[in-house]
Structure 1
Amino acid sequence: MKINKLVLLITVLAFMVSCNSGDRGQVVGAKGKKWHPEKPYGMTLIPGGAFIMGKSDDDLAGMQDTPTKTATVPAFYMDETEITNSEYRQFVEDVRDQIIREKLAEMADLEGKTPGNNDIGEFAYKDADTSNLNAYQKYMINTYGNEQRELNYDVDLYLDTEDYPDELYAEVMDGMYLPLEESYNGQRSWDVSQFIFKYSEMDIQAAAKDRTLKRSDVVEQKEIMIYPDTTVWIRDFAYSYNEPMHNDYFWHDAYGDYPVVGVSWDQAKAFCRWRTIYHNKYQASKKKQPVNIYRLPNEAEWEYAARGGLQGATFPWGNNYTLNDRGCFMANFKPLRGDYAADQALYTVEADAYEPNDFNLYNMAGNVSEWVNSSYSTSSYEFMSSISPSVNDKNNQRKVVRGGSWKDVAYYLQVSSRDYEYADSARSYIGFRTVQDYMGTDKTLNAKNN
């Protein structure tokens, strides 16, 4: 009996030691990797703080939609420039290539092609050889089908017709272009209607307000056609010759550093989601923690950033004038009763043109207006919160645009001026920039100044 008690005591002690894992029975917290904030490429850190939101001067246009209000915003990262054509093209090309790989894998699967023969089989699903699959992968494929099959990214796509490996590959690629009879100037064009980005979005506001909702009730599947509407250069201006901008502005390298236009609010949000996924794929490959989401700024964040830490300023550069001390215009807009060229630009300019504000943000006034993640209402400021204020009603399709553009008069360049456009509309004078929440609360403007 004594021997049995001794064995039991030893067993209990061994169990307790193994459970404690060196913490001596104390609550020391779950172990995880240490987090080091990393500034995203092309962004600047905007320290959080409070400011007076709204018109500090007379509302000359009589809009009466920007009463002054004290607002406080946490720290966040913001793109130093508007999203450029080259950056948005990276989005378009990545989605296009993903669709091509899916079609190639499906064709290879249908024809029973596998790697090793220098044909379309090189682009087969990675699970074409089932011997290397683990139990979880087999379960997911059997349960969810092709949605859970892994594409082969180890092989480069062939976009030049001379490099196509076989006729099946050529058949898939031919389906990605417009028909021959629709070719123009001897060139076949991509069928951009197929460039559709799919992602899911959760309505956290609805979930928080109604706890009876299931997760499936608040998760919405989105499918967005992402190619910019280049016809905006024609449609926005009747009886005006803008065909060169329509033909070249988005795709030609000459305009690579210019802000993308012709994108709707929905397309801008799709870009944000893609940028998050794209960044986190890299994080996962390096076994790093995922980054916070990229998103559109809300209205308060945008105005706070545009002011550059200056209280009561009319423009981002801090005074009431659009000219500097040398008589040069400070932004790209429509000055002098419509003399577009007086500011050294007829349409848009490079995204980093003109001087940045004190937060190192370029073109927060002029060049292109910018989508923000807020719905427009004349009374928004009356009922929004004073901390992290945001009013975005999904039933209100009028979305706020800020900053004014190359075709606007100076009033719309003011940091407090508001305008709107419908979420599914695209214009030749509206672009966007993105933000990312800073993980932590110690980056505030007050702390920075102390």
Structure 2
Amino acid sequence: MDMKKFILLTAVLAILTSCGSKDRGELVGVKGKKWHPEKPYGMELIPGGAFIMGKADDDLAGVQDAPSKTVTVRAFYMDATEITNSEYRQFVNWVRDSIVRMKLAVLADEVGKVPEDGGIGEYAFKDADTANMSVYEKYMFENYTGLGPTGYEGRKLNKDVDLIFDTAEYPDEYYTEVMDTMYLPLEESYNGQRTWDVKKFKFQFSYMDIQEAARNRGISRKDAIKKEEIEVYPDTTVWIRDFAYSYNEPMHNDYFWHDAYSDYPVVGVTWKQAKAFCEWRTINKNSYQKSKKGAAMVNTFRLPSEAEWEYAARGGLQAATYPWGGPYTKSDRGCFMANFKPVRGDYAADQALYTVEAKSYEPNDYNLYNMAGNVSEWVNASYDPSAYEYTSTINPSVNDANNQRKIVRGGSWKDVAYFLQVSSRDYEYADSARSYIGFRTVQDYMGTQVTKNGK
């Protein structure tokens, strides 16, 4: 009798469930929210397609590291310009401010100060008890420290109160103590000015090495997660070290910080710093997305692959020598088309001595500026002279973690025309910074329907 009742109840529930279902029992799939792609600020959509990668003309330099081959890349967004000093300063200031806020909050907690006490208490942690916070909440809280393990992970920083940088307005001795740790010691200062201890500006982040995880199925997830700590401040001494017997002190002193150069491309950053910037940009955007209820997280910002960079630089022109076509570096009016060294010893023949503003000269047909000249650009690839021989023909990418020779593309203000060619390859070591190397970022496009040369 009990079994009959159970079977009857099961049948009734099945009927009720079927009647109340909108899919009428059919296989209709799971429907999510309608997707509306958002074009990232300052970026251009590069439609996916096929192109001839490598040297279309004779390799006059005889390097023979870029034989032509047809490859296809998917659609992506790319920065219209190189990352500027102003944009990179946003990253540096974010790291600096986050470290300062964390130090203030920790000291306020140690001395028992709360917002009602004023002074350093105003910078105390917003939350008093993390016991009821989920693991996800602790992970996602904006409490980046840059200090390594502190024991305060998961505590919410108070970002509603502005930081004070004028020494005359420091609110109390505790605040002064924290700020003092961020500057160089007095004995290392001169002209009555103390400067930031830039070695304290460290960005910590983690990422998953998907390539390693996919190829090594026995690896645990946590072993595929890599952690990095990078000093973020550009190496301004490159303006001195890159040029022996040359007076470039003004560029060393002013180029990164002075507002006169805000719209100029950042230089003096290593490949690793460029990668760190990409991680920060993703965190910064997703932090804003989280503040908007229901907003989707964005795709990761990253450095372009070598194929993506060349495809974008060509601007849809097949077998062209330069982003504007070519084969000449001058327009029909006799004006140079990019910022480079056109004559031996004459850096100013193109109306520029060093770098120029990031939005200078005419953009290519994808509306990208300075894909040739101004500064060379880091890409997410390791240099192998024979790479084109064995890479895939769809989204080719070669980035060997053990190969520290990383590709730079596009040529710079101090290079001759050969390096401005869209097919020319060059490299620098990942931990090296130069006065002529910068970068720009890309972001994956969601979907595949945007193609340049497909039907």
Interval containing the TM-score (normalised by the shorter chain): over 0.9
Contact 1:127 1:133 in 2 (8 A): no
**Residue of structure 1 in register with 2:142 after alignment:** none
Instruction: Give the secondary-structure state (helix, strand or coil) at the position aligned to 2:71.
Output: strand
**Residue of structure 2 in register with 1:75 after alignment:** 75
Determine whether 1:366 maps to 2:364.
no
User: What is the CA distance between 1:430 and its match in structure 2?
Assistant: 0.2
Contact 1:294 1:434 in 2 (8 A): yes
2-side partners of 1:192 and 1:361: how far apart? Answer: 32
Q: How many residues align?
A: 445
Most deviating of 394-403 and 24-33: 24-33
Q: 1:7 and 1:135, CA in 2 relative to 1: closer, same or farther beyond 3 A?
A: farther
Contact 2:408 2:428 in 1 (8 A): yes
Cα deviation per residue 1:297-325 (whole Å; 9 max; x = unaligned)? 01000000000000010010011100101
**Residue of structure 1 in register with 2:320 after alignment:** 313
2-side partners of 1:329 and 1:308: how far apart? Answer: 19
Determine whether 1:300 maps to 2:307.
yes
**Residue of structure 2 in register with 1:231 after alignment:** 237
Q: 1:179 and 1:319, CA in 2 relative to 1: closer, same or farther beyond 3 A?
A: same
**Residue of structure 2 in register with 1:9 after alignment:** 9
Instruction: Give the secondary-structure state (helix, strand or coil) at the position aligned to 1:71.
Output: strand
Contact 1:279 1:291 in 2 (8 A): yes
2-side partners of 1:10 and 1:424: how far apart? Answer: 66
Q: How does 1:421-440 map to 2 (within 5 A)?
A: 421-440=428-447
2-side partners of 1:114 and 1:97: how far apart? Answer: 20
Q: Aligned partner of 2:115: which letter?
A: P
Instruction: Give the secondary-structure state (helix, strand or coil) at the position aligned to 1:436.
Output: strand
Determine whether 1:337 maps to 2:344.
yes
Most deviating of 187-196 and 229-238: 187-196
Instruction: Give the secondary-structure state (helix, strand or coil) at the position aligned to 2:435.
Output: coil
**Residue of structure 1 in register with 2:199 after alignment:** 193
Contact 2:80 2:369 in 1 (8 A): yes
> Can you give the 5+ residue segments of structure 2 that lack an aligned partner in the other structure?
140-149
Contact 1:43 1:79 in 2 (8 A): yes
User: What is the CA distance between 1:158 and its match in structure 2?
Assistant: 1.5
**Residue of structure 1 in register with 2:266 after alignment:** 260
Q: 1:191 and 1:11, CA in 2 relative to 1: closer, same or farther beyond 3 A?
A: farther
**Residue of structure 2 in register with 1:154 after alignment:** 160
Q: Aligned partner of 1:183: which letter?
A: S
User: What is the CA distance between 1:182 and its match in structure 2?
Assistant: 1.5
Aligned to 1:166, which of 163, 172, 179?
172
- RMSD between aligned residues: 2.4
Contact 1:280 1:290 in 2 (8 A): yes
2-side partners of 1:168 and 1:153: how far apart? Answer: 18
Q: Aligned partner of 1:36: which letter?
A: H
Most deviating of 51-60 and 150-159: 150-159
2-side partners of 1:409 and 1:140: how far apart? Answer: 52
Q: How does 1:30-429 map to 2 (within 5 A)?
A: 30-128=30-128, 130=129, 134=132, 136=134, 145-287=151-293, 288-429=295-436
User: What is the CA distance between 1:137 and its match in structure 2?
Assistant: 6.9
Q: 1:228 and 1:135, CA in 2 relative to 1: closer, same or farther beyond 3 A?
A: closer
Q: Aligned partner of 2:446: which letter?
A: M
Instruction: Give the secondary-structure state (helix, strand or coil) at the position aligned to 2:453.
Output: helix
Contact 2:18 2:24 in 1 (8 A): no
Q: 1:140 and 1:259, CA in 2 relative to 1: closer, same or farther beyond 3 A?
A: closer
Instruction: Give the secondary-structure state (helix, strand or coil) at the position aligned to 1:396.
Output: coil
Contact 2:84 2:263 in 1 (8 A): yes
Instruction: Give the secondary-structure state (helix, strand or coil) at the position aligned to 2:385.
Output: coil
2-side partners of 1:10 and 1:423: how far apart? Answer: 65
Task: Give the alignment's TM-score, normalised by structure 2.
Answer: 0.93
User: What is the CA distance between 1:426 and its match in structure 2?
Assistant: 0.1
Instruction: Give the secondary-structure state (helix, strand or coil) at the position aligned to 1:229.
Output: coil
1-side partners of 2:410 and 2:204: how far apart? Answer: 30
Determine whether 1:446 maps to 2:453.
yes
Instruction: Give the secondary-structure state (helix, strand or coil) at the position aligned to 1:446.
Output: coil
1-side partners of 2:214 and 2:339: how far apart? Answer: 42
Contact 2:304 2:380 in 1 (8 A): yes
Q: Aligned partner of 1:220: which letter?
A: K
Cα deviation per residue 1:286-306 (whole Å; 9 max; x = unaligned)? 121101000000100000000
Q: 1:297 and 1:7, CA in 2 relative to 1: closer, same or farther beyond 3 A?
A: closer
2-side partners of 1:159 and 1:368: how far apart? Answer: 33
2-side partners of 1:397 and 1:85: how far apart? Answer: 25
Contact 2:105 2:125 in 1 (8 A): yes
Instruction: Give the secondary-structure state (helix, strand or coil) at the position aligned to 1:284.
Output: helix
> Can you give the 5+ residue segments of structure 1 that lack an aligned partner in the other structure?
none
User: What is the CA distance between 1:220 and its match in structure 2?
Assistant: 1.1
Contact 2:120 2:171 in 1 (8 A): yes
Cα deviation per residue 1:16-64 (whole Å; 9 max; x = unaligned)? 5399653333343334322210000100000000000000111110001
Q: 1:113 and 1:28, CA in 2 relative to 1: closer, same or farther beyond 3 A?
A: farther
Q: Aligned partner of 1:136: which letter?
A: S
User: What is the CA distance between 1:172 and its match in structure 2?
Assistant: 0.4
2-side partners of 1:199 and 1:191: how far apart? Answer: 21
Contact 2:372 2:422 in 1 (8 A): yes
Instruction: Give the secondary-structure state (helix, strand or coil) at the position aligned to 1:125.
Output: coil
Instruction: Give the secondary-structure state (helix, strand or coil) at the position aligned to 1:445.
Output: coil
Instruction: Give the secondary-structure state (helix, strand or coil) at the position aligned to 1:244.
Output: helix
Q: 1:165 and 1:31, CA in 2 relative to 1: closer, same or farther beyond 3 A?
A: farther
Contact 2:138 2:153 in 1 (8 A): no
1-side partners of 2:32 and 2:364: how far apart? Answer: 39
2-side partners of 1:57 and 1:137: how far apart? Answer: 57
**Residue of structure 1 in register with 2:146 after alignment:** none
1-side partners of 2:401 and 2:86: how far apart? Answer: 30
